[in-house]
């Protein structure tokens, strides 16, 4: 799995690698204001992208976009995401990184816990469609 530092315009990078992502205002703002990276398989096909958006000094919000190719690259993908996020955390000296996970998505919950994030609490009716989400965080290792 290749990890590439994303360019300033990750949306165009994603289009270049044929990623199908929902483009909404929140996601666009998050991506454009993040340290981020792309993950490509052995055939240089887009598998995913991840990053951390700085909220304030020492604190960031992690995010992840995955394509259907993640199914064929599961453990390799997970390890690459973990390495990439740790690199950003250490480079930016984050003391806290947080993210939210859909309460009804057990695969995402297992994945975020594999990355070393700890569950903090349930946020009721958090999303626009009023789904419950878990808040997860990770301190500096």
Query: pLDDT value at position 13?
Result: 58
Distance, CA of 111 to CA of 89 (rounded, Å): 18
pLDDT digits (tens, 9 = 90+) for 80-138: 999 999 999 999 999 999 999 999 999 999 999 999 999 999 999 998 899 999 999 99
139 falls within a domain: no
Could you tell me what percent of the chain has a pLDDT over 90?
A: 49
- Report the CATH number at residue 53: 3.40.630.30
Domain of 50 in residue numbering reads as 2-99
Query: pLDDT value at position 5?
Result: 67
Query: pLDDT value at position 136?
Result: 98
88 falls within a domain: yes
Contact partners, residue 134, CB within 8 Å, separation at least 6: 100, 101, 103, 109, 119, 120, 121, 122, 123
48 versus 23: the higher-pLDDT residue is 48
115 falls within a domain: no
107 falls within a domain: no
Average pLDDT, the chain: 83
State how many domains the chain has: 1
104 falls within a domain: no
Q: Helix crossing, 106-114 with 74-92: angle to 10°?
A: 50
């Amino acid at each position: 799995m290749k990890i590439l530092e994303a360019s300033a315009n990750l949306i165009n990078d994603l289009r270049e690698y044929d990623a199908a992502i929902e483009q909404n205002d929140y996601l666009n703002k998050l991506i454009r204001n993040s340290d981020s990276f792309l993950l490509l398989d052995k055939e240089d096909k887009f598998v995913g992208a991840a990053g951390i958006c700085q909220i304030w000094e020492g604190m960031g919000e992690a995010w992840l976009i995955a394509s259907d190719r993640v199914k064929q690259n599961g453990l390799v993908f997970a390890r690459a995401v973990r390495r990439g996020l740790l690199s950003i955390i250490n480079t930016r000296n984050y003391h806290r990184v947080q993210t939210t996970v859909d309460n009804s998505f057990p695969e995402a919950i297992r994945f975020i816990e594999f990355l070393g994030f700890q569950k903090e609490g349930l946020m009721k009716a958090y999303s626009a469609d009023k789904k419950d989400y878990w808040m997860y965080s990770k301190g500096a290792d």
